[in-house]
A = this chain, B = another copy of it.
């Protein structure tokens, strides 16, 4: 399972096989059953999680008890309560497995060691943070500038592999709309096509 991570890392930095081995060995493989939580509010998130198999969803529950999806992750994506992880303070998010899954987890302290020890490893974490930031900027801009329907269409085009694997109610709340409204958008589309 660790090959996936090796390949992923190789997209961003060039490592010798020893370096690559060292990095990947720092991760622990864990199996997570569907519906199992890996993060919960008030518990500090201790690892960075790389999905090698399965799917996850992170979400927050507001004062009215409504769930709002913050992120999805499938193979080759990271998922965490990032604020909790980097500042090592209590989480505000739930993260739950949507399928039986396998994660590679990197411990917070272990990550600090890796970054301190190696300039290349530091570069790797800098790059994934920058890419993450650029991604979230695009998301914020798109959300500010588009209607519910356009946001859904855009999600279909941008993340076709996610659509089949995440429940509608989770997708609706990720896109900032009610599950009923998303259902109507989908239905309208289906009618238009027939």
With contact pairs A122-B119, A122-B123, A129-B126 given, residues A137 and B134 touching in the complex (Cβ less than 8 Å): no
Oligomeric state, in number of copies?
A: 2
Would you call A68 and B119 a contact (CB within 8 A)? no
A141 to B82: give the CA distance in the assembly, Å.
12
Task: Assess the A130–B173 pair: CB atoms within 8 A.
Answer: no
Instruction: Return A66 CB to nearest CB of chain B, in Å.
Output: 8
Instruction: Specify the chain B residue showing the minimal Cβ separation from A118.
Output: B119
A139 interface residue (CB < 8 Å to B): yes
Q: Secondary structure at chain A's binding surface: helix, strand, loop or mixed?
A: helix
Nearest residue (CB) in B for A124 is B126
Q: How far does the alpha carbon of A194 sit from the alpha carbon of B126 in the complex, in Å?
A: 50
* Most chain B beta-carbon contacts within 10 A, residue among A62, A115, A130, A176: A130
Question: Interface on A for B, CB 8 Å cutoff?
Answer: 60, 62, 66, 68, 70, 82-83, 86-87, 92-93, 115, 119, 122-123, 125-126, 129-134, 136-141, 143-146, 173, 176
